[in-house]
Amino acid sequence: MALTPFSVVTEPTPSLRERSRELRVDEVTTPEFQAYLDRLIVTMFEKDGVGIASPQVGQNIRAIVVNMPQGAECFINPEILKKSEQLVDSEEGCLSVPGKYGIVKRHKKVTIRAMNRHGRTMEFEAKQFTAIIFQHEIDHLDGVLFIDKARDIHTTGGKHI
- Distance CA(40)–CA(62), nearest Å, equals 13
The catalytically annotated residue of 22, 85, 123, 137 is 137
- Cβ density class 79-114: b for 16+ within 10 Å, e for less: bbeeeeeeeeebbbbbbbbeebbbbbebbbbbbbeb
- Is 137 designated active site? yes
- Spatial contact of 104 and 116, defined as CB atoms under 8 Å apart: no
What are the catalytic residues? 137
